[in-house]
Chains A and B, each alone.
Chain A
Amino acid sequence: MAGYIFRRILQAIPVLLGTTFLIYFMVFAMPGDPLLALFGDKTPNPALLERLRQEYHLDQPFIVQYFLYLGGIFRGDFGTSFSGEPVSAILARTFPVTIRLAIMALFIEFVGGVIIGLVSGLRKGKLFDASALVISLIFISLPIFVIAFVAQFIFGIQLGWARTTVSTGAPIQDLILPAFVLASITFAQIVRLTRSSVIETQSLDFVRTAYSKGLSRRRIIPVHILRNSLIPVVTYAATDFGVLLVGATVTEGIFNVPGVGRTLYQAIIRGEGPTVVSFVTVMVLIYLVVNLVVDLLYGLLDPRIRYVK
């Protein structure tokens, strides 16, 4: 087991190097001079410009810039943003907010989706199942910003249950509404996946055998039906974490959440190489860790995988 995790961590190294290089290159290749753009319409002082260029290593060739940046990361220095704030400080400020939001959304979509999907699957063709399918279809067809605005209007303005924008510290109660909105993108998929998986598992031979052993339905549903049905759902939900991080960009914009999405968007517009690359690197890192956790979880759910490797 430990060997397996170690190998997976080793595998992550080339992935990280590759992604940072690609992102750095893309930011470098973006048209326009980021420093000139910073000054807007004003004509900058050539001496100041030169000093800034040297400070941010913008006078160096691309490959040198990249390695200087990479070297910095190993010393714990993620570079400095154009506003003069260390990128590491921005990371530390924004990531916890977005991760909190994404985990809340993941929790909502998983718990809600699995429960509704399970009941739907067990009552295939009944009223509950039909309504769940129709509602999930509506959620699948609506873009997230529509759902976000509607939710903001109904729950924030009409009913006054939640704040329409998130306050500076991003406390949990403020994040509930954005989390629900964020969860709605993939919630419907989880419902449908769980439903079809439950229907399939229900008709498998070992379920009939479980009944023939004298087990009650109350025991068979969680132990023999739900657990087997969850294997594909867990895989989906976990890879979905990445989708949630991306989806957070739109949701954070609408609800004014001080998270990764907004900050990253602004950094891309300004062509701030080190900021963009650092954000993306951390995202890739999170993604890799989540993937590793999923694979380990998968082995936990399905012993056939645990023993093959």
Chain B
Amino acid sequence: MSDRTSQNAPGTGGEQQPLLRIRDLEVGFQTTDGIVPAVRGVDLTLMPGQTLAIVGESGSGKSTTAHAIINLLPGPGRITGGSIEFDGKELTKYSEREMEDIRGKLIGFVPQDPMSNLNPVWSIGFQVEETIRANGIATGRKDVRAHAIQVLREAGLQDADKRLKQFPHQFSGGMRQRVLIGIGLSSRPKLLIADEPTSALDVTVQRRILDHLETLTRDIGTAVLFITHDLGLAAERAEQLVVMYKGKIVEAGPSKEILQNPIHPYTQRLVAAAPSLASRRIQSATHESASHALSDLDYAPTQVTEGLDLIAAAEERLEHTSRTKRPDAIVVKDLTKVYKIRGQGKGASGELIASDKVNFTVEKGTTTALVGESGSGKSTVAKMILRLEDPTSGSILIDGQDVAPLKGKGLLDLRRRMQPVFQDPYGSLDPLRNIGNTIGEPLHTHNVGDRASRKARVLELLDQVALPQTLITRYPNELSGGQRQRVAIARALALKPDIVVLDEAVSALDVLVQAQILKLLADLQAELELTYLFITHDLAVVRVIADNVCVMQKGRIVEAASTDQVFDNPQEQYTKELLNAIPGAGIALGV
């Protein structure tokens, strides 16, 4: 742990009592093999009205720490040591009954995923009203209802009175998160725990909601404990930062200080790898010597300042794009897709234009990113290029050949040259097939080689994606998220395709793993002359991987230019909004 921990809150007056003081907190999960520790000796102090962020990758114990405070650890989780002092009261000694009075009333909680955190069978109004009633904020039907409307209005739902009777599935993700924020703040708690409150949302929605949350908590005077995996976001939203790794705090202190001068090697790597920050740094072009590929998944404390590889990757890219014009690998002309939708009203039906006269070209051996929020039509375009959906009109040329009339063998040949990698590394691998079979399946489908040569190819592919050959007999559930995504990439490369369509291929991964995969993709492109179509909602990632960017909004391409042009000189208002929404964009870095 760094020295800075002790001077946790230097600015606040010495007299003031901390709102939350955690000392030596230990949390373990009971398993058949004994207790597995998840949080190991965490200390942190939060003053009233302050905002503190806990940053770390999944499995670092950040959410477990948050859940331990309000005693909502999942199933076998237990606090095994240490103390949690809230407002002078020792929470670890509280009974379940006593905790009920703390939860909701004094400590509000905003959960991570707005889709799964509202009960689908009760109306929004019901779920807000029961909170108000349980915490004794108001009694009597009319009072409770009036209060519920007020709470939702504050959270940014203007037509709250009309929407009270609606159900969660009639709300968008952003709206649901507003409802959850409203619920969390409904009793004016002294502390709000926000557990990755916007990770499931688009960047622009994220920004609006966090701005709103900030205003609300400042007005009420609520202290916020903010849990996030995004260092940029944390630094932007909190005065104090706590970095967790494998259940321990590795660094703590004022946000800007940590970002500009990270002391612990893990923090340094986190700062270097965060795409939201890296993309800025590339711009300032003040980078030190580029380093080699990240070799292992864990950080090794001896390797200091490694991980500037993203910048290196971006640099290589610059050189490589400055070469002469190449032939076009993908040409998309006036691509349109119209879905018929059934309306809400009686017999009403309408049309949804998912893709509206989309035009773009991808040169061979380059990367083009399709960027946009969810619902912008970027995935629809990808599906049509892969021939998983048929376009309503327009054409797609792959290496100059129109793909629309292809059938049977012709289509099979096309698919051989063009392979997809999807977002969810947990969902896109068959849990009942081992890794060798998974990677070798395309070879089998396309009847390439015999048994022995297929196996040799699988081993070669494992090498290419930097996975140990011993994984060949393992199953997906034994692998980490990053390893699974490598397997998915290896499978896509099995047939030696020319084009790889990456649909949000790194969006579900932790930052460090994300950086490794991006580096891998860049290396593979240089080595195999691959053409990438990169679909993402995250502009920060685009900076390090793409040569050209097409920004999509409501089915249309609103801006298309080279990556540098888009970042340095965005033309469209919408692109500017997207760029501004990159968390931590405004923070100057000392690295």
Q: Contact residues of A with B, CB < 8 Å?
A: 3, 203-206, 208-217, 219, 223-224, 227-228, 231, 301-304, 307
13 A-B pairs in the complex with CB atoms less than 8 angstroms apart = A203-B74, A206-B116, A206-B120, A208-B111, A211-B72, A211-B103, A212-B103, A214-B187, A215-B104, A216-B100, A302-B121, A303-B121, A303-B167
- A219 B169 Cβ-Cβ under 8 A: no
Q: Contacts A228-B121, A303-B123, A307-B167 hold; do A214 and B111 have CB atoms under 8 A apart?
A: no
Contact of A203 among B75, B187, B344 (CB under 8 A): B75
Decide if B111 touches A213 in the complex (CB within 8 Å): no
Query: Once the chains bind, are A209 and B134 in contact (CB under 8 Å)?
Result: no
User: Does any Cβ of A come within 8 Å of B8's Cβ?
Assistant: no
| Inter-chain contact A214/B135, CB cutoff 8 Å | yes
Complex CA distance for A52 and B190, rounded to whole angstroms: 90
Partner of B120 from the list A209, A217, A223, A304 (CB cut-off 8 Å) is A304
Residues of B within 8 A of A228 (CB): 119-121
Write out the residue numbers on chain A whose beta carbons fall within 8 Å of the beta carbon of B72: 208, 211-212
How far is it, in angstroms, between the C-alpha of A219 and the C-alpha of B129 when the chains are bound? 13
Q: Does B96 touch A at the CB level, under 8 Å?
A: yes
Measured between alpha carbons, how far is A203 from B183 in the docked complex, in Å? Answer: 20
B248 at the interface (CB under 8 A from A): no
Inter-chain contacts of A304 with B (CB < 8 A): 120-121, 167, 169
Residue of A nearest to B126 (CB): A223
Does B543 have its Cβ within 8 Å of any Cβ on chain A? no
- Distance in Å: Cβ of A308 to nearest Cβ of chain B: 9
Query: Would you call the interface of chain B mostly helix, strand, loop, or mixed?
Result: loop
What mask results when residues 180 to 224 of chain B are scored 1 for a CB within 8 Å of chain A, else 0?
100110010000000000000000000000000000000000000
A219 to B117, CA, bound (A): 17
In angstroms, Cα B114 to Cα A205, docked, is 10
Identify which of B70, B116, B130, B167 contacts A215 (C-beta below 8 A). Answer: B130
Contact A214 B169 (CB under 8 A): no
- B113 CB–A CB distance under 8 Å: yes
Contact A212 B134 (CB under 8 A): no
**Which residue from B121, B135, B183, B184 sits with its C-beta under 8 Å from A301?**
B121
Q: Are A227 and B130 in contact (CB under 8 A)?
A: no
Q: Which one of B75, B170, B180 lies within 8 Å of A209 (CB-CB)?
A: B180
- B96, A217: Cβ atoms under 8 Å? yes
CB-CB under 8 A from B111, the residues of chain A are: 205, 208-209, 212
Q: Quick one: which of B97-146 are within 8 Å of A by CB?
A: 100-105, 108-109, 111-113, 116-123, 130-131, 134-135
Q: Tell me, rounded to whole Å, the shortest Cβ–Cβ distance linking A69 to chain B.
A: 39
* CB pair B109 A212 closer than 8 Å: yes
Contact (Cβ within 8 A) B118 A214: no
Q: How far is the CA of A3 from the CA of B101 in the complex (A)?
A: 48
Minimum CB–CB distance for B95 against chain A, Å: 12
Cβ of B118 and Cβ of A206 under 8 Å apart? yes
Are A214's CB and B120's CB within 8 A?
no
A228 nearest CB neighbor, chain B only? B121
Q: Are the C-beta atoms of A205 and B113 separated by less than 8 Å?
A: yes
Residues on A with beta carbons closer than 8 Å to the beta carbon of B120: 206, 228, 302-304
What per-residue 1/0 map shows which CB atoms of B71-87 lie under 8 Å from chain A? 01011000000000000
Which residues of A sit under 8 angstroms from B118, Cβ to Cβ? Answer: 206, 209
3 nearest interchain CB pairs? A214-B104, A212-B109, A205-B116
Chain A residue contacts of B344, Cβ below 8 A: 307
Q: Do B134 and A215 have beta carbons less than 8 Å apart?
A: yes
Q: Is the CB of B121 within 8 A of A209?
A: no
Cα–Cα, bound, A38→B170 (Å): 65
- Choose among B75, B117, B118 the residue with the greatest number of A CB atoms under 10 Å from its CB: B117
Kindly report which residue of chain B lies nearest to residue A208, judged by CB atoms.
B72
**A203-B74, A303-B121, A304-B169 given as contacts; is B130 within 8 A of A212 (CB)?**
no
A142 to B163, CA, bound (A): 52
User: What is the minimal beta-carbon distance from A255 to any residue of chain B, in angstroms?
Assistant: 40
Which residues 131-165 of B have a CB within 8 angstroms of A?
A: 131, 134-135
Q: How far is the CB of A89 from the nearest CB of chain B, in Å?
A: 45
Residue in chain A with minimal CB distance to B113: A205
Contact A219 B134 (CB under 8 A): yes
Q: How far is the CA of A191 from the CA of B78 in the complex (A)?
A: 30
Chain B positions 283-341 with a Cβ under 8 Å from a chain A Cβ: none
Q: Are B117 and A206 in contact (CB under 8 A)?
A: yes
Most B CB atoms within 10 A — which of A213, A214, A231? Answer: A214
Q: How far is the CA of A3 from the CA of B347 in the complex (A)?
A: 11
Taking CB atoms, residues of chain B closer than 8 Å to A224 are 119, 122
The residue in chain A whose Cβ has the minimal distance to the Cβ of B131 is: A213
Decide if A213 touches B103 in the complex (CB within 8 Å): yes
Cβ A213 vs Cβ B130 within 8 A: yes
Cβ of A197 to closest chain B Cβ, rounded Å: 13
- For A201, the closest partner residue in chain B by CB is B119
Of the residues A205, A217, A219, A231, contact of B130 by C-beta under 8 Å: A219
Q: Is A212 a contact of B121 with CB atoms below 8 Å? A: no
Distance between Cα atoms of A282 and B302 in the complex (Å): 81
Interchain CB contact under 8 A, A209 and B109: yes
- CB <8 Å contact, B119 and A213: no
Complex Cα spacing A144 to B118, Å = 43
Chain A positions within 8 Å of B121 at CB level: 227-228, 231, 301-304
Chain B residue contacts of A206, Cβ below 8 A: 116-120
Measured between beta carbons, the chain A residues less than 8 angstroms from B122 are 223-224
The CA of A219 and the CA of B103, in the complex, are separated in Å by: 15
Of all chain A residues, which has the CB nearest B102? Answer: A214
Contact yes or no, A223 B180, CB < 8 A: no
List residues of B (440-482) whose CB comes within 8 Å of A's CBs. Answer: none
State A228–B119 Cα separation when bound (angstroms).
Answer: 8
Tell me whether A212 and B100 are in contact (CB under 8 A). Answer: no
Interface string of B58-94 (1 = CB under 8 A from A): 0000000000001010110000000000000000000
Please indicate the chain B residues that have their CB under 8 angstroms from the CB of A302 in the complex. 120-121
Residues in A whose Cβ lies below 8 Å from that of B70: 212
- From A124, which residue of chain B is reached at the shortest CB distance? B75
Q: Which residues of A contact B105 (CB under 8 A)?
A: 214
Give the docked Cα–Cα distance between A307 and B109 (Å): 30
CB distance from B208 to the nearest CB of A (A): 22
Q: A206-B116, A206-B118, A219-B130 are in contact. Are A214 and B170 (CB under 8 A)?
A: no
Query: In the complex, what distance in Å separates the CA atom of A3 from the CA atom of B70?
Result: 49
Q: With the chains together, A301 CA to B122 CA distance in Å?
A: 9
18 extra A-B contacts, CB within 8 A, seeds A209-B118, A212-B184, A307-B344: A3-B346, A204-B116, A205-B113, A205-B116, A205-B117, A206-B120, A212-B111, A213-B104, A214-B104, A214-B105, A214-B131, A214-B134, A215-B130, A215-B134, A217-B96, A228-B119, A302-B121, A303-B123
Assembled-state Cα–Cα distance A302/B167 (Å): 10
B74 / chain A contacts, CB cutoff of 8 Å: 203, 208
